[in-house]
Each structure stands twice: as C-alpha cells, then as structure tokens.
Amino acid sequence: MALGIGCSSRPGKAPNNKTGSWRVFKPKFNHEKCTKCGMCKTICPEGCIEESEDEFFIPNESYCKGCGLCAEECPSDAITMEQEEK
Amino acid sequence: MAETCELFDCGHRACGGCGAALVSRLILKATGKDVIIVSATGCMEVFSTPYPETAWKVPWIHSLFENNSAVASGIEAALKKQGRKEKVVAIGGDGSTFDIGMLCLSGAFERGHDFTYICYDNEAYMNTGIQRSGATPYDASTTTSPAGKCSKGNTKQKKDLPQILAAHGAPYVATASIAYPSDVVKKIEKAINTPGPCYVQIHAPCCTGWGFEGEKTLAIGKLAIETGLWVNFEMENGVVTRAKKVVRKPVETYLKEQKRFRHLFKPKVNAEEIAKIQAIADKNAEKYGIDLKLKNKADPVVP
Amino acid sequence: MLEITEGSHAVAKAVKMSRPQVIAAYPITPQTHIVEALADMVADCELDAEYITVESEFSALSACLGASAAGSRTYSATTSQGLALMFEVCFNVSGMRLPVVMTIANRALGAPLSIWNDQQDSIALRDSGWLQFYAEDNQEATDLHYIAYKVAENPEVLLPAFVCFDGFILSHTYEPVDMLSQEDVDRYLPAYKPVQRLDADDPISMGMYATPEYYLEFRYEHDQAMKRARNAINKAGKEFGEMFGRDYSALVEGYRLEDADTAIIAMGSLCGTIKDAIDEMRSAGKKVGLLKIRCFRPFPAEEIRNALSHVKRVAVLDKNVSVGAKGAVAIEVRDALYGKALPVLGYVLGLGGRDVRISDIRNIVSLAESGKGDQFYGLRTEVL
Ligand SMILES: Cc1ncc(C[n+]2csc(CCOP(=O)(O)OP(=O)(O)O)c2C)c(N)n1
Ligand code: SF4
Ligand code: SF4
Ligand code: SF4
Ligand SMILES: [Mg+2]
C-alpha cells in the first residue's frame, strides 16, 4: 500500500484500533431502569454507545474502554460496572 | 457501527474518561461535516491521528504546536478566494493557546479572520507529562510546579484569555464545560455562525493529569462550576451577556477530589492556601455575578 | 518586453503573473520592496489575491501552509532573521509536501546584526527539504519563479521552493529584464491543480504523526521526490527555453569551462563578477572557467562530476560558513568529487555584505594554483 502524501490519510482507519482490549471493567446496561434519555451516548468519550432498534443503548464492545463515565452519569442508575471476564 | 463512531471515529487513543476526547466529539456534533479542522500539537492531536489511523471524518490538518491560528488564517483566505463555504475551526490545548500560540492567535484575531478558535482547557501540558501552563490554576501541583517542602504548587493564577481575546474585538467569546455537553454544542454553533474570529474555551478535566478516576470527569467539571473556580459565560462584542448562576459550594469540595491539590489537605489541611483559592472563587463570583441567592426553602432553585 | 526595473519589482511582477491566490509575508530588509509592490498590485486590483498581513514570518509561512493545504497557489518572501523564524514551519511545509514558493532576498544572519548580503540564511536551511534555486541576475531571478512553481507543483515532485537572489546586490539594483506577458506566463504555468486538498466533500487528514514504523519511509519518500525534481527541472527549464529562448534545463551552468585548468564554483550574483574576472584572466592567458550552481537542492552532484572531469583544481566560493567545518558548497562539492584526485579548495568570502571584486577572484585563483585554500578570504587582519 502506498503511503499517503506527506503523512496524510483518508478517514476510516481509526476503528482498526480496537480499544475494547483496554477494558478492565465493563458497563452493564439494565434496560428495565433505562428511560432512554440518551445521556450515556452523549457523554461517552469514545462515541461507542449505539442506539439499538428498540431504542435502548448498548456499548460497542470493540471500543468501550470501560471508563465508567456512562455509569456515573446515568440519571437512572441503569448502568453498573462489572469486572471484565477475559 | 454506522450509529456510533460518528464524525469523530472510534478507536482513538485517549485515556479512558478523557475530557478532551469528549470535546472532539462535541465539536464535530456542532459543526457537522462542512468544516475544516486545524489542530495544534497536544493530546487531542496525538490520540486521534497516529498515521494512518485518523479519527477525523472531516478534513483535518495539524502543522505545529503554536501555529494553528495562522494555518487557519491561510485556509480561511484560500476558501474565500476559491468561493468555498466550509467553516474553519482551530483547536488547541491550553498550552498551545495560552502560551506558545499567543502570537499567532493574537495576529489572527486582530486581522479578523472568519474562524472559530476552540481551546480545550485541561490546565497543563498533558501530552508531555503534566507540566504547568498559563492556564494552570493557583496551587496546582504539576511536574514543573511540583508541591514540595517549600512549594505549594503553581504560584500563578490562570491567565484571563477570554478577556484578552474580547479586547481584540472578537464578536463572540464564550467559556463552557464538558460537564454541560449541550451548552458546549450550543456555544460552538453560535461561534461558527458568528462572522469574524470567535473563541470558545472549554473546561476539559483530565483524569490522568489532575489525578481522579476517569468516571468522575464530568462530576469534577461540575464541581469546578459549582465552586465558582470555573465560570461558564458568554461575551458578545466585549460585554458579558450571560453567566451560569450557581449556589456555590466551598472550594474544598472541588480541590479534595484531585491529586494535584492533595498537598493542600495532607499531611495537614493548609487553611491559609485554601482561603486564597476561595478568594479566587469569590472574585469570579462577584465579577460574573454568578451567585444564586436562596431566598427561602419554599422557592425552588432553577439554575 | 525589455524593462529597466529594480530587481525586487521584477520579482514582484513575476509573482503577480504566476497568479498566487494567497500571499502572506512580513516585511524585512532587503525583501520589503517585493511585498510592498505586491501590496500595491492588490490595492490597485491588478492582482486578485488574498494578501494576509501577518504579524510575523512564522505566521506568514504557516498561513501559506494552510492556504496551500486548502488547494491554493501561495507565495511568501523573506530573508535572514525572518527565514530563521520560519525554520520550524519550513520543515513542516516540505514534509507535508506543499508546493509553496518563497523568494529569499539573501542576507546575513545575526549576531552580529547585518542587513547586508551573504547566503547564510538559505544555506542554513539546506536540510529543510525545499528546492533551492540561486539567481545570478534579475533576469534569472524573475524567470526562476515560473520554473519554481512549475517544478514545485509537479505531481511527481510536490515540494516547496526557495528562489534565492542576493539582497541589495540584486534586489535593489536596476537592470534590464525581459518580462514575459501574462499570456506567456499563463501558457507556461497553468492554474494550480492540487493532488489533494482539505475539502469537506472529500475529507482527508493532513500532517498526522508517524510512529517509528513509518517515519523513515516518509523521509525516504521526501528524498525520492527531491531526486525526481531533477528531471522535473530539466523538463520545466527546457520548455521555458523553447517558449521564451532562455534555457534553464541544467542545474549547473559552465562558463568558459571546456578547456579550463582552474574551475571556480559559486552561486548567485557573484557569478557575474567571476565571469568578468575570467574574461580578464583568459586574455592574460590563464585557463579559468566557472561552474555556476543554479540549483543547490536537489544537489547536482553528477552534473558537477561530469563538468569537472578535465580540470586540475576547483576553487569553491562560499558566501556562508558552517562554523567549525567549511563553506557548505565546498563540503558538498568535495563529496560529489569523492574518489577523484582533484584538489577542491574552499574560500569563505563576502560575508555580511563584504564586497567581492574582480581582483579578489584573481587572487583566489592564484591561491588555488599554489594549493592554498580552506580559508576565510579577504580578512582585514588589521582589525583582528
Ligand atoms: C515548539 C514546540 N515546543 C514544545 C513541544 C512539545 N509539546 C508537545 S505537546 C506539548 C504540550 C501540549 O499542551 P496543551 O496545548 O495544553 O495540550 P494537551 O497536551 O494538554 O492536551 C508540548 C510542550 C512541541 N511539540 N513544539
Ligand atoms: S443514560 Fe441511563 S437512562 Fe439514559 S439512555 Fe443511557 S442507560 Fe438509559
Ligand atoms: S464505560 Fe466509558 S467507554 Fe464504555 S461505554 Fe461507558 S462511557 Fe463509553
Ligand atoms: S492525559 Fe488527559 S487530556 Fe491527555 S488523553 Fe489522557 S485524559 Fe485526555
Ligand atoms: Mg493542556
């Protein structure tokens, strides 16, 4: 593959870096408590929280770093952090 | 994956819970795709663009630590000449913005280019290992202003950069905090839609540099505002038109959560220094009129 | 059309006819007349460019970097302290492969402060990855701007270019210059078509950082581009010659070199003085010739080797010094001639505006003939 001129690159390659492997804790979403407010998706620094077809929110495990911010900020306490099973 | 990894892609290398990473996302949420981003050297640039894994799905350029405003000036001029309509947004950390990039920043604001400058303020040079900058708060311990036997940390107060840029005649200058994401987006939208050079300074707590757990990034940001140590305000044509009001908490509530201020509490509480920091908050509160007075308990407070 | 004009104004006209879209420059003696003339042209609507009156040279080149990345043809001019202030940006512009063209009105670097000519400023940036052209006279200074744009923007090259001409000696001197017409220039130098640019419809990230897995390869590519520039210069110079009668296809140019025993090597306006000195020495029976280096980057090592195959000695005149070593041109010429039993004698002279006269050239040839070189020439020992 040819190098991008002057160290340039087209978008699309960052997702090759699967930051999910950094995780020690993992957010667990309790859909019963969730009010679908969308806060978790807004504030996740990874931008890795997806809205599923039934409008619930789920983290993309390939990228979630397990920082715990979503769990801390969820107004309904619908997210808990659990030890990652490796 | 189409749902996530929006204009700012997944896979970037920021620390978990990084405030600056959230800033990147919020910026692109506000600008949409018709934008050209000019990043300065620093954490955000480094965690988002190791070749060839760029996280930016909009046109993006990095040149140096201290020239993003000048590069943006050139881009703006070229777009004008070519009759193009993209918005130009320069992004810098506090070190880039407050310190080494001041020359270019002042020049670009004086010339009046139509661009928005966004400083994500994590209050030190994080990328090189937490050295102090002109934005580091009083008494914060950094690797070049360490607390020690005869040092209480950083000896200077934060430079008032918003005022300096307002004095350049900037039509819109605002401060914001990632603790209030929709406010960040609103202010960036306003800045990019205001002709001329506009400035938005966003408080972006850094778990690694300040010493707290990544899950607390927003909570810490909120405390900064609730203690009056950070004020969210807007200035239009040099006049403060809006400031977020709060029922203030004592500064300790903010300070004690962060390792960079630990020396003010251990081995023993340094009341004298904490009083000095409280005085800074009091001065902010007076300057921007942010104190919400609780009249009586029956009146609910709507901040 | 032949015009008697100040060097700076001739250069400004050539720049104007090259149709840059964005100009960013900061005044510094002896470059000022160029940027003032361009400002006048913009003020009179003769030149349709954005002229950014930056607050420093550092911003001047940074703004050019941005404008070039956005896809516009750009121009700047500077010298000496201004160029030194651009140092960091220079490496960036070239590493990002942006074809910015910049005039250098060569001047000494302080300290001690001096506004007068030598070539220390651009030579100090010889490793910065820019093409470097040196003009002997104002005709060449003017023409080299068209060539510089053509080569810099060649998709095989994509490198920025310095067009160097000696401060005051050329910049402030009135000489007749054959100016091309705008139609001529447009035929030779069509509008700039960037290979890639910042564009919301086709996003790209520029100026990313390279890990150790990639950095070496990017520098290699940069060096390869510089090597390809050789061909591009040959081609652009030849085409210019075919269209306008002045051929700049060669990176070096010989003067009465064919049967010379002593070859002098120099760059810039000094070559004019040397040619006059050679004519005099030739009439006195001395076989002396000149090899002028017009293009210092890429360095024409092969051309130098070929041109000097028959001479007995080489005297290299450097208007710069790599303190602790020698003049930069002498060092590189010696490297080009490595393995040949040919004495290469270096002379550092003319620094900080010290005049170099025909008699000085004669003296240097005598020194070279007696094998004395690698020295500062023309020292006023009485003040030492
Ligand atoms: C001219 C120059 N000096 C110093 C550096 C080293 N350097 C790179 S990033 C950086 C600090 C960045 O601080 P800031 O702008 O606050 O961004 P942060 O990393 O905190 O996000 C420094 C000192 C550099 N790259 N260039
Ligand atoms: S923040 Fe909590 S309540 Fe809101 S959408 Fe996310 S999980 Fe549901
Ligand atoms: S734990 Fe952190 S990275 Fe993972 S989904 Fe929550 S906020 Fe995002
Ligand atoms: S050091 Fe701080 S600013 Fe830098 S990536 Fe980590 S959390 Fe973000
Ligand atoms: Mg910082």
How many C-beta atoms lie closer than 10 Å to residue B124's C-beta?
29
Tokens of C297: 């980057």
- H-helix segments, chain B: 19-31, 43-48, 68-82, 94, 102-111, 161-167, 181-192, 207-210, 217-226, 252-255, 271-288
Q: Which chains neighbour C (Cβ–Cβ under 8 Å, 3 or more pairs)?
A: A, B
Under an 8 A CB cutoff, do A6 and C96 touch? yes
Res C318 pLDDT > 60: yes
Under an 8 A CB cutoff, do B49 and C208 touch? yes
Band of pLDDT at residue C355, cut at 50, 70 and 90? very high
Q: Give the pLDDT of residue C31.
A: 98
Band of pLDDT at residue C166, cut at 50, 70 and 90? very high
| Nearest-CA distance C116 → chain B (Å) | 28
Residues near B128 by Cβ (< 8 Å), separated by ≥ 6? none
Q: Give the pLDDT of residue A55.
A: 84
What pLDDT, in 10s, does the model give residues B132-190?
999 999 999 999 999 999 999 999 999 999 999 999 999 999 999 999 999 999 999 99
CA C27/CA C86 separation, integer angstroms: 13
The protein residue whose alpha carbon is closest to atom 1 in ligand 3 is A66
Strand partners, B62: B39
Chain B hits for A75, CB-CB cut-off 8 Å, are: none
Strand partners, A49: A59
Chain C hits for A16, CB-CB cut-off 8 Å, are: none
Domain boundaries, chain C: 2-244, 252-383
Residue C90: exposure state from Cβ atoms within 10 A (0-12, 13-18, ≥19): buried
Q: Give the pLDDT of residue A66.
A: 98
What pLDDT, in 10s, does the model give residues C79-122?
999 999 999 999 999 999 999 999 999 999 999 999 999 999 99
Q: How far apart are the first and last CA of chain A?
A: 34
Average pLDDT value for residue range B39-50: 98
Q: Give the pLDDT of residue B2.
A: 41
CA B174/CA B130 separation, integer angstroms: 25
Taking one residue from A and the other from B, the number of pairs with CB-CB distance under 8 angstroms is 113
**For residue C368, what are the CA distances in angstroms to A44, A80, B23, C256, C326?**
74, 85, 66, 18, 16
As a residue count, chain C comes to 384
CA B64/CA B104 separation, integer angstroms: 12
Helices B217-226 and B19-31: crossing angle in degrees, nearest 10, is 80
What pLDDT, in 10s, does the model give residues C292-301?
999 999 999 9
Tokens of A22: 């950094």
Under an 8 A CB cutoff, do A69 and B215 touch? yes
Band of pLDDT at residue B293, cut at 50, 70 and 90? confident
Nearest ligand to the CA of B21 is: 4
Mean pLDDT computed over every residue of chain A: 95
Under an 8 A CB cutoff, do C204 and A10 touch? yes
| pTM given for the model | 0.97
Strand order from edge to edge, sheet including C131-134: C50-52, C22-24, C74-78, C101-106, C161-166, C131-134, C295-297
As a residue count, chain B comes to 303
How many C-beta atoms lie closer than 10 Å to residue B30's C-beta?
23
Tokens of C116: 């007068």
Give the one of B11, B52, B214 whose C-beta lies nearest to A19's C-beta: B11
Tokens of C62: 């940074």
Buried b (16+ CB within 10 A) or exposed e, C125-148: bbebbbbbbbbbbbbbbbbbbbbb
Q: Ligand 1 mean position to B96 CA, how many Å?
A: 6
Q: Give the pLDDT of residue B5.
A: 73
| Cα torsion angle, B182, B187, B188, B189, sign | positive
Element (H, E) at A43: helix A39-43
Report the atom number in ligand 4 closest to the C-alpha of B17. Answer: 7
C199/A contact by beta carbon, under 8 A? no
Chain B hits for A5, CB-CB cut-off 8 Å, are: none
What pLDDT, in 10s, does the model give residues C260-302?
999 999 999 999 999 999 999 999 999 999 999 999 999 999 9
DSSP line for B34-76:
SEEEEEPSSHHHHHH-BTT---BSS-EEE--SS-HHHHHHHHH
Note the CATH number of domain C252-383.
Answer: 3.40.50.920
Rounded to the nearest 10°, the torsion over CA C209, C213, C214, C215 is: 70
CB B238 within 8 A of CB B169: yes
What pLDDT, in 10s, does the model give residues C168-212?
999 999 999 999 999 999 999 999 999 999 999 999 999 999 999
| Nearest-CA distance C299 → chain B (Å) | 27
Q: Ligand 3 mean position to A82 CA, how many Å?
A: 12
User: ∠A28-A34-A38 over CA atoms, to 5°?
Assistant: 95
Res B298 pLDDT > 60: no
Query: Scanning every residue of chain B, which has its alpha carbon at the shortest distance from the alpha carbon of A1?
Result: B52
CA B254/CA C91 separation, integer angstroms: 44
Mean pLDDT computed over every residue of chain B: 96
Pick the CATH number of B3-288 from 1.20.1090.10, 3.30.70.3270, 3.40.50.970, 3.40.640.10: 3.40.50.970
Report the atom number in ligand 2 closest to the C-alpha of A36. Answer: 5
Under an 8 A CB cutoff, do C62 and B64 touch? yes
Pick the closest to residue B115 from B176, B47, B167, B38 (CA basis): B38
Under an 8 A CB cutoff, do B16 and A73 touch? no
Ligand 4 proximal residues by C-beta, below 6 Å: B 14-15, 18, 20, 43, 47, 122, 126, 206-209
| Cα torsion angle, C199, C200, C203, C207, sign | positive
Longest distance between any two alpha carbons in chain B, whole Å? 63
**3-state DSSP assignment of residue B176:** strand
CB B184 within 8 A of CB B202: yes
CA C145/CA B262 separation, integer angstroms: 61
Domain boundaries, chain A: 31-83
Rounded to the nearest 10°, the torsion over CA C346, C351, C355, C357 is: 10
Rounded to the nearest 10°, the torsion over CA C269, C270, C275, C278 is: 180
Tokens of B143: 């690797």
- What number is the ipTM of this complex? 0.97
Tokens of C229: 């520039």
Q: Ligand 3 mean position to B127 CA, how many Å?
A: 22
Band of pLDDT at residue B1, cut at 50, 70 and 90? very low
CATH superfamily of this structure's domain C2-244 = Thiamin diphosphate (ThDP)-binding fold, Pyr/PP domains (3.40.50.970)
Chain B hits for A65, CB-CB cut-off 8 Å, are: 16-17
Pick the closest to residue B138 from B44, B49, B254, B46 (CA basis): B254
Report the atom number in ligand 3 closest to the C-alpha of B215. Answer: 2
Residues surrounding ion ligand 5 at CB below 5 Å: B 93-95, 122, 126
Res A53 pLDDT > 90: no
DSSP line for C100-127:
-EEEEEE---SSSP--S--SHHHHTTTT
Strand partners, C178: C2
Rounded to the nearest 10°, the torsion over CA C123, C128, C129, C132 is: -20
B96 lines ligand 1 (CB under 6 A): yes
Residue A86: exposure state from Cβ atoms within 10 A (0-12, 13-18, ≥19): exposed
Parallel, antiparallel or unpaired: strands B239-243 and B233-236: antiparallel
CATH topology of domain A31-83: Alpha-Beta Plaits (3.30.70)
- H-helix segments, chain C: 7-17, 32-43, 57-69, 80-85, 87-95, 120-123, 138-153, 182-188, 215-244, 270-283, 301-307, 328-336, 358-369
Band of pLDDT at residue B219, cut at 50, 70 and 90? very high
**Sequence letter at residue B214:** G
Domain boundaries, chain B: 3-288
Mean pLDDT computed over every residue of chain C: 98
Nearest ligand to the CA of A25 is: 3
